[in-house]
Structure 1
Amino acid sequence: MKHLLFILILLLTGCQSSSDKEIRAVVLRGPSVMAFAQWLEQPPVIEGKRVAVTVAESPDIVQAALIKGEADIAVLPTISAANLYNKGVRLEMAGCPIWGTLYLVGRTGGNDSTIHIFGRGTTPDILTRHYLSNEGQQPPLNYVFQTAGEITQGLMAKKINRAVVSEPFLTIALRKDTTLRIIADLNRAGTSGMGFAQTAIVITPGLSASRDTLDSLLAESCRFANERPEETIRILEDKKLFAPGMLTPEAIRRCRLDYKSSQEAQAEIDTFLRLIFQYEPKAIGGQLPDARFITSRP
């Protein structure tokens, strides 16, 4: 029944097109929005249309916008993008803007080996399990905390000793508690390569002809954040997307903002999706998306 309802939504909304006057971009609040600070301050124009950026509070809101035809560009977890694609939502992955947000941290002298993780069955959980498997470790895993913010509060209150934390919460925790240290970078296997393509920028078919322009604008926006972190922080604080003092240049640096088109990052995207399929097939809709997910171009 839920599947039939999903198909009905697609039929009712699939014919909707972007506005004649603007292109609608929906960006997930958090590290993703750092890559779009320049767009928030100076909206770009593509094919004569202004890009209007909306910031969403959760991946569910981004997914709903895509399903209902209310977004032309969207930023969401790659596993969510693949899941939507496999369910029939017409989209393609334009590229990946972020290569580092998840880190395993621990407290010096802490005796409890339990690792606290947020998002059971999602990217933080899967990458943690993958890291532990490669290291031959089998510590207890605890999923009582639902968000990175909750985990950070648990660390700061010294209720837990080991946890997976994402930026910008990681930098806050390290700054306020000198007994915490980074145990592992979960964003890539080893020290070389770009890493796991955890975050996707997707577009609807109507923007396929503008891919080159879009790729250039996205790369420029990521460079802006890297080269002008203080200005990026000012924009995001002015837009009230981060509380004053929450975001630092170090947090931006650690996120490794570097836009790569789906063609440039095809191997990394494929590796990441296969890893997700190995650990949690249902997270991407029970199957690997076909080649058109990342290679569709006019």
Structure 2
Amino acid sequence: MKRFVSIFCIVLIASFSLTAQAVAETPAASALDIQFGVMAGPTGFSSVALSLNEGRIADNLKVTMSVFPSPNEVIARLANGELDFASLPTNVAANLYNKGVKVKLAAVIGNGMLSVLSSDGSVASVQDLLGRTVHVPGAGSTPDQMSQLLLQKAGLVAGKDVILDYSVAAPAQLAQLVIAGKVSLAVLPQPFVSMVLGRSPNAREVVDVQALYSQLSGVPTYPMSVLVVSESFAKNHPLALAAVLKAYEESVAWVNADPKAAGLAIEAAGIMASAMATPAIPSCNLVFVPSQEAKNEVQAYFTFLHGFSPASIGGTIPSEDLYL
């Protein structure tokens, strides 16, 4: 019996030692690598602080940021599960939802930043636009959607009361034509508004689109860009989700507080040249409003867009299930 007990104790001690050694040799859990997609241009400005410190936002969380030239590439990667988060135009988020892509709208990250510019200052008010041609960068773009929406709200007819010209699709090219005086009137977003006003002594802002939207719709502002998260990430990584949202809110605050440093980071990330980004940041309306707080403004915007172009948001107004 004594011999049996001795053997049992030896086996028990040996087993404990082997287990302890195995635990000691097991590597610490690696950092969760979060895939984050942004678009080149102002939609990606507010995210840039997440790319600092090699993307490490916590000891066990790393953000890998990828910059894409158009929404289509971001959409494709969200749809096939390559991205966990993305910064997108608001109507694109609605289209994704209506196509069955499992995403949640986490926050509004940018309100309106559009203006109607006159190259020579000959147009001074909205009334002066009647009968005139206004160049818009790209049919179906956000500037186009807002132009048509505001004309409708004002009781005017596009193509009759105001002519919308889509012959120059690229905002950068259109901005250069306004600076050169070759285009008289144009709807442009930031940072091209700041670029035109900074380089042309004759150019003037005719319409602050945000102020006109508020006046005609009764809604304080419209959400131009949003942060979305894949439904699976939100479900499987609730603590990481909270950490990313906190880091994003801090990123927005940092970009707004220090445009010069942010501009350098924006250029380093491949989002836009700092020479264009830095002067535009104060006018970009970068915000961080959690989706539940922004829901009324977002739903109002979707409702207005659906009223004149259901296809612009994917056919139907998203339900409250869209919101995180």
Normalising by the smaller structure, the TM-score range is: 0.7 to 0.9
Q: Using the alignment, how far apart are the partners of 2:49 and 2:187 within structure 1? A: 29
The worse-fitting range, judged by mean Cα deviation, of 136-145 and 233-242 is: 233-242
- Which structure is larger by alpha-carbon Rg, 1 or 2? 2
Aligned residue identity for 1:81: A
CA distance change for structure 1 residues 55 and 158 in 2, over 3 Å: closer, same or farther?
A: same
In structure 2, relative to structure 1, the CA distance for the partners of 1:213 and 1:241 (3 Å cut) is closer
- 2:48–2:269: 8 Å Cα contact kept in structure 1? no
1:33 aligned onto 2:44? yes
Q: Is the 8 A contact 1:96 1:259 kept in 2?
A: yes
* Aligned pair partner of 1:199 in 225, 240, 247: 225
Aligned positions of 1:1-298 closer than 5 A: 21-42=32-53, 43-45=55-57, 48-107=60-119, 108-109=121-122, 113-137=132-156, 138-187=161-210, 189-190=213-214, 195-208=221-234, 209-210=238-239, 211-249=241-279, 251-294=280-323, 296=324
What does the per-residue CA deviation read over 1:199-226, in whole Å, with 9 as the maximum and x for residues that have no partner? 1211012332244333322211100001
AA at the equivalent of 2:52? E
The alpha-carbon distance between structure 1 residues 78 and 244, as it changes in their structure 2 partners (threshold 3 A), is closer
Please, what is the CA RMSD of the aligned residues?
2.2
CA distance in 1, matches of 2:313, 2:214: 25
Q: Is the 8 A contact 1:92 1:205 kept in 2?
A: yes
Identity %: 28
Q: Separation in 2 of the partners of 1:237 and 1:285?
A: 33
Equivalent residue letter for 1:32: T
User: 4+ residue runs of structure 1 moved beyond 4 angstroms?
Assistant: 191-194
Quick check: 1:24–1:52 contact (8 Å CA) kept in 2? yes
CA separation of 1:47 and 1:237: change in aligned 2, threshold 3 A: closer
How far does residue 70 in structure 1 lie from its aligned partner after superposition?
0.6
Question: Structure 2: which 5+ runs fail to align?
Answer: 1-29
* 1:122 and 1:283 in contact (8 A); partners too: no
- 8 Å CA contact 2:50, 2:248 repeated in 1: no
TM-score using structure 2 length: 0.79
Give 1:114 shift. 0.5
CA deviation after TM superposition for structure 1 residue 44, in Å: 4.2
Structure with more helix by fraction: 2
CA deviation after TM superposition for structure 1 residue 64, in Å: 0.9
CA drift of 1:240 comes to: 4.2
Inter-partner Cα distance in structure 2 for 1:46 and 1:238 = 21
Deviations 1:239-275 (A, max 9, x none): 34323522233x1011111111101101111011111
Q: CA deviation at 1:156?
A: 2.1
Structure 1 runs not aligned, ≥5 long: 1-18
Does the 8 Å contact 1:99/1:256 carry over to 2?
Answer: yes
Contact 1:168 1:246 in 2 (8 A): yes
Q: In the superposition, relative to structure 1, how do residues 97 and 228 fare at CA in structure 2: closer, same or farther (>3 Å)? A: same
State TM-score, norm by structure 1.
0.85
* Structure 2 Cα separation of the partners of residues 47 and 289 of structure 1: 36
